[in-house]
Amino acid sequence: MNNQIGVIGSGNFGTAISVLLAHNTGVLLYARNKQVSETINRTHSHMGWTLPTRIKAISDLEEICQRCSVLFIAIPSFEFPNLARAMSPFLTPQHIVIHGVKGFALRDEQNRNYQITPHEGFPVRTMSEVLKSETNVIRIGCLSGPNLSKELLKRLPAASVIASAYDEVIVTAQNLLNQNKFKLYRSQHLKGTEIAGALKNIVAIASGMINGQNLGKNLESIVITKGLREMLIIGQSLDIAPDAFLGLAGIGDLIATSTAKSSRNYSFGYTIGQSDNIARALDETRDLVEGIGTTEIIFNYIRKANLTCPVIHMVYDVIFNKMEVQTAVDHIYAHNTTFDVDFL
Ligand SMILES: NC(=O)C1=CN([C@@H]2O[C@H](COP(=O)(O)OP(=O)(O)OC[C@H]3O[C@@H](n4cnc5c(N)ncnc54)[C@H](O)[C@@H]3O)[C@@H](O)[C@H]2O)C=CC1
Ligand SMILES: O=C(CO)COP(=O)(O)O
């Protein structure tokens, strides 16, 4: 292995991570499509962004795993189990693998209408759990925070969280990524960080819907605040400490994605809000919107776990029951109000 760092996934976030890494080290960027990697190597540009020459692209999964002892992964959650299985023969306990994926994988990949059993409270796997079960990698981390890729690629100031149970993972990520105007904060709450990053996407969709309908800043702030409450009570139901939800990977990312037009989750919600036509919004969306699948999975969970989560309910009803946004907003007003902060 040499000292190049591997990045798997050459989309928006993988490219942004590569550019940040290239400030401190050489990078091998994996693109599945050979034509894409050849074009990156020939033009030193990708998706309209000029790339540092320290980034070399590659299309051989075995080779990138053999050449890089530290790998970052940024691909959609629905492809993650397949990728983990494909990488498995090439990974060893010597590797450090850090993912930046904000979504879940179902334990039973065929069954979205899962059951909750007393022994398996959360019927989904986080990406670190997928890596643990599908590969022999031990030192796993998650990079998560308010990291809108367009802003990172424009080299605007940002920060993020590296979460891992292993100090070496945290220190390695900090050494590789810390630089002027980009800093990594540390967290030992790996699962909480992963869950926070996935759940905030649902709230970003809700906020987009409210803004697409011009329902005002008051309602937007209710949705974001109560959305955070729902993230926390889901965490509580899983015995996850609130820490992960209250830092940059929780409330920080929630603010970024629930207020930025460059967030794909927010802008998907915004399109629905503008047209009140979910079929059209789904049809027109070309971008990855992680929050759609997460809403379906988590709605099923909160129903079975008997948690009251009006914001998630609202998003579910609009997307999956084709309810109009203004009607779905009623979920927020359907309950008798009790203590404002009822979750600490
Ligand atoms: N774009 C952003 O601002 C941020 C995205 N994320 C998260 O990163 C993940 C990826 O998002 P984006 O990069 O934005 O998505 P994207 O849609 O821009 O890119 C995904 C890339 O993954 C590749 N890919 C898909 N399946 C693959 C496989 N099996 N093997 C290898 N490559 C594969 C695709 O070809 C594509 O290049 C998501 O979970 C997202 O929530 C996290 C932070 C910021
Ligand atoms: O998670 C993100 C920024 O931190 C990216 O959000 P979107 O996937 O909504 O674009």
Which residues fall within 8 angstroms of residue 239, CB to CB, at 6 or more apart? none
Which residues are known catalytic residues? 200
Q: Which residues line ligand 1 (CB under 6 A)?
A: 8-14, 32, 74-77, 79, 82-83, 100-103, 147-149, 288, 290
Binding site membership of 184 for ligand 2 (Cβ less than 6 Å): no
Residue type, 15: T
Percent of the chain with pLDDT over 70: 95
Q: What's the pLDDT band for 113 if we cut at 50, 70, 90? A: low
**What is the ipTM score, two decimals?**
0.99
CB 249 within 8 A of CB 187: yes
Coil, strand or helix at 93? coil
Residues of the chain with CATH 1.10.1040.10: 194-333
Which tokens hold the place of 229? 């409450």
125 lines ligand 2 (CB under 6 A): no
Helix (H) or strand (E) holding 184: strand 182-187
Gap between the Cα atoms of 257 and 272, Å rounded: 16
* Biggest distance spanned by C-alpha atoms of the chain: 62
Q: Report the alpha-carbon distance of residue 182 to residue 160 in Å, rounded.
A: 8
The hierarchical CATH code for the domain 5-188 is 3.40.50.720
Rounded average pLDDT over 163-191: 98
Q: Is 13 annotated as a binding residue?
A: yes
User: In the predicted model, what is the mean pLDDT of residues 223-239?
Assistant: 95
Pocket test for ligand 1, best of 10, 12, 49 (most atoms within 8 A of CB): 12
Neighbouring CB atoms inside 10 A of 181's CB total 10
Q: Please check whether residue 318 is in contact with residue 328, taking contact to mean a CB–CB distance below 8 angstroms.
A: yes
Q: Does 147 sit in the ligand 2 pocket, CB within 6 Å?
A: yes
Which one is the CATH code of 194-333: 2.40.70.10, 2.60.40.1760, 1.10.1040.10, 2.60.40.10? 1.10.1040.10
What is d(CA 259, CA 266) in angstroms, rounded to the nearest whole number? Answer: 7
Distance between Cα 335 and ligand 2 center (Å): 30
In the chain, ranges of CATH 3.40.50.720 domains: 5-188
> If you average pLDDT over residues 329-341, what whole number do you get?
91
Joined tokens for residue 274 = 């503008």
Q: Report which ligand 2 atom has the smallest distance to the Cα of 267.
A: 9
pLDDT (0 to 100) of residue 118:
47
Q: Is 264 in the pocket of ligand 2 (CB under 6 A)?
A: yes
Sign of the four-CA dihedral 244, 68, 157, 149: negative
Ligand nearest to the CA of 207: 2
220 Cβ below 6 A of ligand 2? no
* Pair 85, 134: CB distance under 8 Å: yes
For residue 108, is pLDDT > 70? no
